[in-house]
Amino acid sequence: MARALSTIDVIRVAIARYLQFYSQGHADLSWLNSFCGNVLENFSEEDIKDVELMYCLLVSAEKIGSLQFDSASIFLNQCEKFSSKNGSSVQRIVHYFREAFQEKIDQQTGRISSKGEKGYKESMLLFPEVMVVNLRPALIACYLELPVYQATQFAGMQAIIKTMATAKRVHLIDIEIRTGAQYILLMQALATQHEPQVELFTVTAVGTTLRNEIEETGKRLAYFAMTLNLQFSFKIVMVRSLKYLNENLFELQKGEVVAIYASMTLCHLIRLPSCLESVIRVLRNTNPRIMVVTEIEANDNLLSFEDRFFEALFYYSSYFNCLEDCMSPSDENRMSFEEMCLGQPIRNIIANEGEQRIVRHMKIDAWRALFSRFGLAETELSISSLYQAELAVNNFACVKGKSCTLEKKGKSLIVGWKGSPHISLFGSFRKMRKEFVM
């Protein structure tokens, strides 16, 4: 029998069974022999096993939330026995959540320090920069294979292209440039479609570490600009911490029109509110014509362990489902990406509290409210931006039955997988008639 359930479907069925069994007072593993019942009789054997496995994870979370660590361990043993980082998307997500649960129990019971391993903490603190070096092949592979990434990048670049339609000197500030692959479309448009011809395209990359890597990105972009006969300048602003960022460091020239691109980077400052506000204030003071921001569409910046668990479970389960649909189960790049870019954040979100919880995300409404405080109003994404996102999605063979969803939310775009939001993309600009927060 063919599999009928997506990863999110598995969670929902498991939650329904969880509520049913707990209303009946079941608190041990005796239910497993008759777990399926008539409600699952039309599902495949693999789906039934996935629901059972997810059920064990849900019970583990409930036991940890009520500090019943011995009882939680019983169900975690079941999770360990039947989960795998090489298995189905459900088996993989349970594998990483089980690891996170075990670390939380070990911290709560004093088996390990709440600060965790020093190396792990440092890797999380520098996670964006570390990814560029250690995970470049995996990141490139996932960018090429996952439509959610290309949809947001194509739409974001098109928003900049349209906004810069009449600019002769374009200065783009990138808060975390990584490989710079997203600028291929932008540079091609500036060189071939722009009227009047662009006199100079400047990119300023902001970084806190790995200057050599940023320089290599600049060299690649300069070479590509040369092939297009596009006048190009690449600058680097290195700061010890983003809290030391200052608009004067950008060396903006008269006549330049400023655009800002911030992709999956501002979220790393959520745990440092004063730093985040300082960075937004600096970016606002450059008087950008447009600021394109993409962020993970999840709300795991929550105090309650149970709330964080469910938010992270739904978000990351959908992500694993997307990877399962678009990439081979044994793909080494996929497995590296899952371990570092999904597994480690899950571990940090679930196992840690307070200042040790480095990975935090907010949904688009929270970002809107924050940007509004600094006089940055949201702009309507153009029809051409949405068209570019659709073109990007339609190029993927893995998109069956419109699995990759593009949803307008207000003036912005939410890119998701099978109805579950993944990434938000929105544009802002400086409002000239407003009393700014200083």
The answer on 113 and 15 residing in a single domain is: yes
Q: Is position 423 within any domain?
A: yes
The answer on 341 and 282 residing in a single domain is: no
The answer on 30 and 109 residing in a single domain is: yes
The answer on 333 and 233 residing in a single domain is: no
Spatial contact of 416 and 148, defined as CB atoms under 8 Å apart:
yes
At 124 the pLDDT is 45
Q: Is position 139 within any domain?
A: no
**Per the structure, how many domains does the chain have?**
2
Q: Is position 135 within any domain?
A: no
What is d(CA 309, CA 307) in angstroms, rounded to the nearest whole number?
Answer: 5
The answer on 229 and 153 residing in a single domain is: yes
Tokens of 376: 């940055």
Spatial contact of 144 and 389, defined as CB atoms under 8 Å apart:
no
CA proximity to 308, closest of 123, 61, 74: 61
Q: Is position 131 within any domain?
A: no
Task: Match 């109805």 to its residue by tokens.
Answer: 419
The answer on 422 and 378 residing in a single domain is: yes
**Residue 334, CA distances (Å) to 259, 297, 368 in order:** 33, 21, 32
- pLDDT profile of the chain (438 residues), mean per 10: 76 88 61 51 82 94 95 95 95 98 94 58 49 75 92 95 92 91 91 82 93 93 96 96 94 95 94 95 95 96 94 96 94 94 94 91 95 92 92 87 89 94 90 48
At 132 the pLDDT is 57
Which of 356, 380, 397 corresponds to the end of one domain?
A: 356
At 429 the pLDDT is 81
Q: Is position 174 within any domain?
A: yes
At 17 the pLDDT is 83
Q: Is position 333 within any domain?
A: yes
3-state secondary structure 216-272: HHHHHHHHHHHHCCCCEEEEEEECCCHHHCCHHHHCCCCCEEEEEEEECCHHHHCCC
Spatial contact of 246 and 337, defined as CB atoms under 8 Å apart:
no
Spatial contact of 323 and 413, defined as CB atoms under 8 Å apart:
no
CATH number, domain at 405?
A: 3.40.50.150
> Which domain does 60 fall in, by range?
7-126+299-356
SS3 content of the chain, % helix, strand, coil (to 5): 55, 15, 30
The answer on 305 and 264 residing in a single domain is: no
Does the predicted TM-score (pTM) go above 0.85? yes
Q: Is position 275 within any domain?
A: yes
The answer on 110 and 33 residing in a single domain is: yes
Q: Which parts of 26-96 are beta strand (E)?
A: none
The answer on 368 and 323 residing in a single domain is: no
The answer on 194 and 83 residing in a single domain is: no
The CB density around residue 389, as the number of other CB atoms within 10 Å, is: 26
**Residue 202, CA distances (Å) to 99, 143, 232 in order:** 45, 25, 6
The answer on 263 and 240 residing in a single domain is: yes
What is d(CA 10, CA 187) in angstroms, rounded to the nearest whole number?
Answer: 43
